[in-house]
């Protein structure tokens, strides 16, 4: 191997390591967003966003452009006093950041990611607390500023939001019937082997393909 070939290989490996480090940093950034969102920690949430005028938050209510506008949303319209958990102990806004796919641009300066968001919320209302659950997809653009990854554009595509005791399906269309292997109704889809009795309360534990990372068992 020539010196030129060796240098090219080292450069390639350096780029791969950089990309892997970037992906891990972005994953940490997105997960932190979820944890701060749970308690609506406005000041911590806004710190995750880029200082660029292109920074934006796009949700069901509309698009908030620029950090000042985004902060106004996270403060629920109160520009002077952020909502504090200790003042609203019943409040909960847990949206888990799941199944992330991150793609870093070749120059290592920008990236894009897609995440499932699923969780529960509880909003204090006159007379009590209104609980609900939600699901959706995040499409996010990231940018690296001073060697630190930040959120540039966050788009929340909400699939559903529903009261906890009801459903995300309209009551007029919902059929509350236990569906036990509905595919058995289609003869062509019948399995050639016996079904696994995995459903509660069978006590079934799906086999692990890996050994215990500590004990090796």
CATH number at residue 103: 3.10.450.50
Number of domains, the chain: 1
Residue 199 lies in a domain: no
Residue 213 lies in a domain: no
Taking the C-alpha atoms of residue 151 and residue 119, their distance in angstroms, rounded to an integer, is 21
Run of H or E including 9: helix 3-38
Taking the C-alpha atoms of residue 102 and residue 116, their distance in angstroms, rounded to an integer, is 12
pLDDT at 49: 97
Count of CB atoms within 10 A of residue 104's CB? Answer: 22
Run of H or E including 192: none
Taking the C-alpha atoms of residue 140 and residue 115, their distance in angstroms, rounded to an integer, is 8
pLDDT at 31: 97
Q: Per residue of the chain (217 residues), give pLDDT as tens.
A: 898 888 778 788 898 999 999 999 999 999 999 999 998 999 999 999 999 999 999 998 899 999 999 999 998 755 555 555 566 788 899 999 999 999 999 999 999 999 999 999 998 889 999 999 999 999 999 999 999 999 999 999 999 999 988 888 888 898 887 766 556 566 676 677 777 788 778 888 788 877 877 788 8
**Of the candidates 157, 149, 158, which has an alpha carbon nearest to the alpha carbon of residue 30?**
149
Q: For the whole model, what pTM was predicted? A: 0.83
Residue 84 lies in a domain: yes
Residue 20 lies in a domain: yes
Contacts of 129 (CB under 8 A, 6+ apart): 90, 122, 123
Range of the domain at 52: 3-189
Residue 211 lies in a domain: no
Run of H or E including 66: none
Taking the C-alpha atoms of residue 159 and residue 157, their distance in angstroms, rounded to an integer, is 6
């Amino acid at each position: 191997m020539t010196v030129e070939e060796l240098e090219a290989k080292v450069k390639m490996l350096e780029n791969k390591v950089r990309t892997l480090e970037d992906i891990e940093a972005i994953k940490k950034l997105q997960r932190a967003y979820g944890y701060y969102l749970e308690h609506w920690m406005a000041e911590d949430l806004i710190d995750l966003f880029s200082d660029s005028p292109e920074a934006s938050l796009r949700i069901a209510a509309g698009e908030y452009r620029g950090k000042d506008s985004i902060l106004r949303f996270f403060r629920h319209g109160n520009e002077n006093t952020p909502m504090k958990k200790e003042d609203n102990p019943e409040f909960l806004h847990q949206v888990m950041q799941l199944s992330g796919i991150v793609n870093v641009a070749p120059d290592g300066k920008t990236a894009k990611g897609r995440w499932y968001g699923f969780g529960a919320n509880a909003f204090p209302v006159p007379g009590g607390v209104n609980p609900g659950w939600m699901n959706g997809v995040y499409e996010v653009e990231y940018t690296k500023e001073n060697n630190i990854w930040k959120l540039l554009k966050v788009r929340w595509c909400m699939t559903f939001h529903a009261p906890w005791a009801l459903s995300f399906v309209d009551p007029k269309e919902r059929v509350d019937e236990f569906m036990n292997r509905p595919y058995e109704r289609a003869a062509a889809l019948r399995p050639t082997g016996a079904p696994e009795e995995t459903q509660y309360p069978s006590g079934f534990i799906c086999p692990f393909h890996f050994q215990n990372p500590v004990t090796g068992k």
